[in-house]
Amino acid sequence: VRVLAGRSGLVVGLIVAATVAFGLVGVPADRVQGDAQRIMYVHVPAAWLAYLAFFVTFLGSVGYLLRRDLRFDRLAAASAELGLLLTGAAIASGALWGKVTWGIWWDWDPRLTTTAVMFVVYAGYVLLRMSIVERVRRARLAAVLGIIGFANVPIVHFSVLWWRGLHQPPSVLADDRADPARDAARQRDRVHGRLCMAAPPSGRDRAWSRRGPGTPGVGEVTDAPFVIAAYVVVLGSLVAYAVSLRRRASSAAADDRAIKRRLDDG
Amino acid sequence: MTLATDSLLLAGKDLQVELRTRAALVGTLTLGAGALVMVGLAAGPDLGRLRELAPALTAIAILFASLAMADRLDAIDRENEALEGLWLSLADRRAIYLGKALALTALQSVLGFSLWLLALVLLDVPVGPVLLWLPALVVLGASSAAAATALISALVGGADQRTVLLPVVMLPMLVPTLLAIVNGSRALIDQDPGAAVGWVLVLVAETALFVGLGLLAYEAVGAPE
């Protein structure tokens, strides 16, 4: 365990690389969506991890207001940053998938709109933290916003059930998961139905033309650039964030050393 | 004194300050009117299109003018350490929140009503008997926006980039209010009061939610630096 913990970055990197390889090459193309389905292997985890991150922010915020311990505040802040990044990645990868399957980058669908609102709320949270220098005040105000902002998460999740829209209903927590065959059939029906009937005119025309006689399936129209772009967006943003964290940590350590030197010098 | 009395006194104080100077109301009215003219220019000159977009354009103009008004009232309280005085003198500090929300409701109602009058002319909104209910919708919209704005302006009050932060944090919170005002006023313009009832309930629920949140959280967020 100690060896693994010491090399946790390498282990996580290997697991991610194996998962990416499996998602890109190991899994066969979806019968209906073709290669575009591979975007889901990064889009859905990004969205779920964003929910989880915002939940941790909520817990950290409640913890701070109850205990007034700045460690809770740091937990909430770090988690909100990660959640914001993952929400952005989920929106970008979803737009890439939408362009391939719906024929449009963006639709004012309830799920998409509420996700965009959630993104702005947590962008406000991060901005608020950046605008207040005094630690205790920053922690207190951010904790209140972290609690209020979490109300968005259930709204985003249930938006596909509460309102009609283009986005498919939840699949991870769907009721019909007990029967995989029925689940697959329903998913297929949903995709067909949504693509052909519910899509806005431009998307609908494209979906019909792709599904028409003698034309390839939706996903068979050259999707590779979209799939690769989605993987680059999600994984690239995570790597960029890791690099920025490392820089911030080394810069903070350098500041600490400089302060210590100044104190030692008298 | 009770929470209600203190709140009414503080709301009266804010309104009196505004009546003396009229700085916030005149400034925000000018801003809202300017915004209406600009969006009318941008979306026009097709009157049919302007009429179709009138509820959304007017609501957006009112919303931005209301944010500027909340910012102005908050700034008045923070000048000359007035907030510190209030904070120390009140037994129940939630009265500051309620007083601010009440004053903002009154001022934003005047603002909303004036801008709607202007929109009737500029955007060629058809006037029918059902439209007489519009002032009630404006007051409900103002109360919903004021309940949220009073809390959020206290939250971002001490931040460096307050003017930018207020709309960034505030606007996502006001999405249900915005939708309710736009769809409710569209229903009234279409002479369909039945369709407006659901949106009125959304405004009432949003007001109740933010007043509840404000009463719970104001002590934590409103403390002066």
Q: Determine the straight-line distance between the first and last CA of chain A, rounded to whole angstroms.
A: 44
In B, which residues are within 8 Å of A117 by CB distance?
172, 175
* Cβ(A138)–Cβ(A130) below 8 Å: no
Return the CA Rg of chain A: 22
Residues B213, A117: C-beta atoms closer than 8 Å: no
Q: What is the pLDDT of residue A78?
A: 93
- pLDDT tens digits, A78-131: 999 999 999 999 999 999 999 888 888 888 888 999 999 999 999 999 999 998
Backbone angles phi, psi at B205, to 5 degrees: -65, -40
Q: How far is CA A138 from the centre of its chain?
A: 26
| Residue A182 confidence (pLDDT) above 70 | no
Distance from CA of A127 to the nearest CA of B (A): 7
Between CA A219 and CA A230 the distance in angstroms is 15
Q: Which of residues 141-170 of A touch B (CB under 8 A)?
A: 141, 143-145, 148, 152
| Bond prior to B45 in cis (omega within 30° of 0) | yes
The answer to whether residues A97 and A40 touch, using CB atoms and an 8 Å cutoff, is yes
Partners of residue A34 on adjacent β-strands: A30
> Measured on CA atoms in the order A159, A160, A166, A171, is the torsion positive or negative?
positive
Whether the per-residue pLDDT at A209 is higher than 70: the answer is: no
Over range B186-211, report the average pLDDT: 90
CA distances from B85 to B2, B8, B193 (A): 18, 17, 47
B88 CB-contact burial (10 Å; exposed 0-12 / middle 13-18 / buried 19+): exposed
Exposed, middle or buried, B132 (CB in 10 Å: 0-12/13-18/19+)? exposed
**Rounded CA separation A123/A168 (Å):** 26
Select from A117, A137, A141 the Cβ nearest to the Cβ of B172.
Answer: A117
The one-letter code for the residue type at A62 is V
Dihedral (CA of A89, A95, A96, A98) sign? positive
Q: Which residues pair with A30 in a beta bridge?
A: A34
Q: How many angstroms away from the CA of B152 is the closest CA of chain A?
A: 9
Helices (H) and strands (E) in chain A, counts: 10, 0
The whole-angstrom separation of Cα B197 and Cα B187 is: 9
Instruction: Tell me how far apart the alpha carbons of residues B68 and A25 are, in angstroms, rounded to a whole number.
Output: 54
- Residues of chain A found within 8 Å of residue B217, distances taken between Cβ atoms: 144, 148
Mean pLDDT (whole number) for A52-68 = 95
Q: Which of B149, B162, B165 to mutate to test the interface with A (most CBs of A within 10 A)?
A: B165
List of residues 6+ apart from B97 with CB closer than 8 A: B150, B151, B154, B214, B215, B218, B222
pLDDT tops 50 at residue B183:
yes
* Mean pLDDT of all residues in A210-219: 44
Distance CA A105, CA A99 (A): 5
For the cut 70, the answer to whether the pLDDT of residue B24 exceeds it is yes
All residues at 6 or more sequence positions from B126 whose CB lies less than 8 Å from its CB, including other chains = B51, B189
Closest partner residue to B161 (CB to CB) among A117, A131, A141 is A131
| Angstrom distances, CA of residue B205 to CA of B57, B63, B111, B199 | 24, 18, 22, 10
Of B72, B62, B70, B68, nearest to B36 by C-alpha is B62
Q: Which of A130-139, B9-18, B42-51, B93-102 has the lowest mean pLDDT?
A: B42-51
**pLDDT above 50 (res A196):** no
State the pLDDT confidence band at A4, using cuts at 50, 70 and 90: low
Q: Is the pLDDT of residue A221 over 60?
A: no
CB contact under 8 A, B165 and A144: no
Separation between Cα atoms, residue A96 and residue A105, nearest integer Å: 6
Whether residues A121 and B165 touch (CB distance < 8 A) is answered with no
In B90-174, where does DSSP find H-type helix? 94-122, 134-156, 162-173
pLDDT for res A200: 41
Residue A207, pLDDT > 80, answer no
CA end-to-end span of chain B, whole Å? 26
Q: How far is A126 from A83, CA to CA, in rounded Å?
A: 11
Residue A157, CB half-sphere, CA atoms under 13 Å: how many?
17
Give the chain A residue nearest B162 (alpha carbons): A131
User: Do B189 and B127 form a contact (C-beta atoms < 8 A)?
Assistant: no
Angle of CA points B127, B130, B131, to nearest 5°: 45
- B57 has a pLDDT exceeding 60: yes
Which one, of A92, A245, A48, A78, lies nearest residue A146 by Cα? A78
* Dihedral sign computed on CA atoms, order B88, B91, B92, B95: negative
Average pLDDT, chain A: 80
Alpha carbons A130 and B160: distance in angstroms, whole number: 9
Sign of the four-CA dihedral B118, B122, B128, B130: negative
B213: closest chain A residue by CA: A148
Of B37-41, B143-147, B205-209, minimum mean pLDDT range? B37-41
Q: ∠ CA B207-B213-B215 to the nearest 5 degrees? A: 100
- Report d(CA A83, CA A79) in Å as an integer: 6
Contact of A137 with chain B, judged by CB distance below 8 Å, is answered with yes
